[in-house]
Amino acid sequence: MFTVSTFSLEVPTTAGTDIVDLTDSVREAVRQSGIADGLLTLFIAGSTAALTTIEYEPGVVNDLRRALERLFPRDLEYEHDRRWGDGNGYAHVRAAFLKPSLTLPVQHGHLHLGTWQQIVLCDFDNRPRRRQIQGQVLGLAA
């Protein structure tokens, strides 16, 4: 039988480029959904955060932070900052490139991830936030 299971995660973040591993929480939500085969979709509302996958180990996490700083430096002049004065124009641009949603397969009741692949929230804002991630698991019940 086709089933939809919805869940949400709340994640506190700090100012700066936080990269938070969500994998265990998402795995548990998929397990609780009772769906054997289907798709998981995650979405974060907000224009200064994104979702992606990465090998979540300190070296790669720091490499990603440095790469984002090279591509979208904080100290550039952003028109958003001139208009609103909030200093987070870089965060909007970073989030636009990484995207607010992620879709992953669910097979035999488990997320289908690579051996070294984790699901991460990237929060780029320049102030602490409480991020809400919405998830839906769609598919055939076990």
Euclidean distance between CA atoms 18 and 49, whole angstroms = 9
User: In this predicted model, what pLDDT tens digit does every residue of 13-24 receive, in sequence order?
Assistant: 998 899 999 999
Q: Above 90 in pLDDT, residue 53? A: yes
* Structural domain harbouring 31: 2-141
Question: 1: Cβ–Cβ under 8 A, 6 or more apart, which residues?
Answer: 140, 141
CA distances in angstroms from 117 to 23, 81, 96, 103, listed in the order given: 9, 35, 22, 14
Give the domain CATH number at 15.
Answer: 2.60.120.460
CB atoms within 10 A of CB 3: 15
- What is the mean pLDDT of the segment spanning 44-60? 97
What pLDDT score was predicted for residue 50? 98
Tell me what pLDDT residue 48 has. Answer: 97
**How many structural domains does the chain have?**
1
